[in-house]
Amino acid sequence: MRGQRVTVRIAELTPTGSGVSKELGMPVFIDMVAPGDLAEVELFDVRKDFARGKLVNLLEPSPERAEPPCPLFKVCGGCQWQHLSYEAQLHAKTGIVRQAVQHMGGLDPALVRDTLAAQPLHYRNKVQFPVRNPQNSQRILAGYFKKDSHELVNVKFCPIQPEVLDRMLAVSKEVLERHKIWAYDEGTGKGTLRHINARTSFDSGEVLVTLVINMGADSRDEFNRSPLGKRLTEAADEIMAEEPSIVGVCVNLNTQAGNRILGDQTYLLAGKSSIEECLKSSRDDYPEKLRQGLKFPLSSTSFFQVNSTQAVTLLEVVFDQARELLHGVDQPLIVDAFSGVGAIAFWLSPLAKEIVAIEEHVLAVEDGRRTAQNNKIDNVRFVPGTVESVLPDLLSQGRRPHLIVVDPPRKGLSPTVVQALLESGSNIIYVSCNPSTLARDLKILTGGCGPDQSNGATIGYKTRQIQPVDLFPQTYHVETVTTLERLTTDGSIGNMEEA
């Protein structure tokens, strides 16, 4: 019953980061616990099939616990697993993927390999801090929200971001306070500053700052003429002068109520409007272009992985699997679906005659085309539009890719895309950020079948391997790269030799 205190042993961690005990005859979910903990728990939400509780007293700590590197960990909602050793985090993420593919996907959990480790701290290249003013004060507070709330936790330093972003935040707050740029109040809709955003290049160390403000303007000239625009421009110059790593300051205008962070208008206040990140491999068996590195221009609104170093690890997994699937194929055609700015497409470009990158966000397509020009890559073609419309259209033209890479959002693949994949007969690499929707889609792909246009037979897919990659240490989030091979009705696996 609600309010009851019970003693439980934590069995494992769930895909949402909580621990779970099943000793009471139903699952009891508790935050801030580790597998192996013996804990006194107070139940606050009791349902027919499960209950939720809060940790009251840790009776026997698990050996998998660690001292959190952040003093704000217990109140800040930015991270969930700083109380776990990094080895325990990796083990838990592997277990989460294995549970999903076994119980939801009906697949052998042995297909899931051990999660690839990352640098556990100081890895984020992008931050977005909401801001507040304390009651009866004009001091700017910035940080993250407490879990399941809009109560702000003021952050002075954050161990999952590089120190240069700590300095950026301190300088930005100080200068904005000096210029009387006060925080936006989401309750009243009044005030000016909504967010302080920034991204940094791990290659150059440069920082680009974006101030999100509650202001509307029909044009850049109107913004420049306004008193607020003039104050923000002066503040931007001072921010850059006080922190040399900051090479540009932009302003984004957003007057919409709600949780949307960025509005549609972004203007440069001072310095450069973009920075450049370089992703490169250190592997000797890779093409020279990947060892030299691919350079990506990043603006305030660019789509890009927040962990530059581990993004290379993920891309290397994709490249290795693509190289195996395309072995012996002459002049391969690859489709990169949900391509974003084209990081996967560009990374695979040495393997293909042509890559079609499908992306619905216009700004990402524009960034991708600039990146192709800057890196002198001429075999990647961006097609703006949804995968649901572009991929079936491509197939209807008789163009059959040798490989399709899909990297969908957390909701996974729509039924239309799944059907197009089955009809394509192409080998598939599925990059996922959600083990649950991955497992759901794998169950359909490995259990379904479609026509094989080359010989009139039917085809399905066999899951060859699932490789988790840790892009977000200290959190429960995990990326996976799954390799699916085209399987004909006689059980054989084959590569297509024509497109």
> What φ, ψ does residue 211 adopt, rounded to 5°?
-100, 120
Report the C-alpha gap between 390 and 366 in whole angstroms. 17
Collect all residues with Cβ–Cβ distance below 8 Å to 460 and sequence separation of at least 6.
422, 445, 446, 447, 448, 449, 450, 487
Q: Which residue has the tokens 């697993």?
A: 81
Complete DSSP assignment for 120-145:
-SS--SEEEEEEE--TT----EEEEE
Instruction: Provide the residue-wise pLDDT of the chain in tens; the chain has 499 residues.
Output: 788 999 999 999 999 999 999 988 899 999 999 999 999 999 999 998 999 999 999 999 999 999 999 999 999 989 999 999 999 999 999 999 999 999 999 999 999 999 999 999 999 999 999 999 988 888 999 999 988 788 899 999 999 999 999 999 999 999 999 999 999 988 888 899 999 999 999 999 999 999 999 999 989 999 999 999 999 999 999 999 999 999 999 999 999 988 889 999 999 999 999 999 999 999 999 999 999 999 999 999 998 999 999 999 999 999 999 999 999 999 999 999 999 999 999 999 999 999 999 999 999 999 999 999 999 999 999 999 999 999 999 999 988 999 999 999 999 999 999 999 999 989 999 999 999 999 999 999 998 554 444 444 445 899 999 999 999 999 999 999 999 998 865 444 454 444 4
Report the C-alpha gap between 58 and 63 in whole angstroms. 13
User: Alpha helix (H) ranges present in 212-307?
Assistant: 220-225, 227-242, 288-292
Residues 167 and 245 sit within 8 Å (Cβ to Cβ): yes
- Please count the other Cβ atoms lying within 10 Å of the Cβ belonging to residue 226: 13
Structure confidence at residue 328 (pLDDT): 92
Instruction: Report helix, strand or coil for 410.
Output: coil
Report the C-alpha gap between 103 and 142 in whole angstroms. 41
Structure confidence at residue 457 (pLDDT): 44
DSSP state, residue 185: B
Structure confidence at residue 210 (pLDDT): 98
Burial per residue of 198-216, b for 16 or more beta-carbon CB atoms within 10 angstroms, e otherwise: bbbbbbeebbbbbbbbbbe
- Please count the other Cβ atoms lying within 10 Å of the Cβ belonging to residue 145: 14
DSSP state, residue 365: H
Among positive and negative, which fits the CA dihedral 393, 383, 411, 19? positive
Report the C-alpha gap between 348 and 401 in whole angstroms. 14
Residues 356 and 334 sit within 8 Å (Cβ to Cβ): yes
> What φ, ψ does residue 435 adopt, rounded to 5°?
-60, -30
Burial per residue of 381-393, b for 16 or more beta-carbon CB atoms within 10 angstroms, e otherwise: ebbbeebbebbbe
Structure confidence at residue 451 (pLDDT): 47
Instruction: Report helix, strand or coil for 59.
Output: strand
Task: From the candidates 79, 250, 433, 449, give the one annotated as an active-site residue.
Answer: 433
Structure confidence at residue 496 (pLDDT): 45
Structure confidence at residue 448 (pLDDT): 55
Instruction: Report helix, strand or coil for 390.
Output: helix
Structure confidence at residue 453 (pLDDT): 44
Residues 341 and 296 sit within 8 Å (Cβ to Cβ): yes
**What's this model's pTM, rounded to 2 decimal places?**
0.92
Specify whether 158 is catalytic. no
Of 333, 348, 481, 438, which is closest to residue 105 (Cα–Cα)?
438
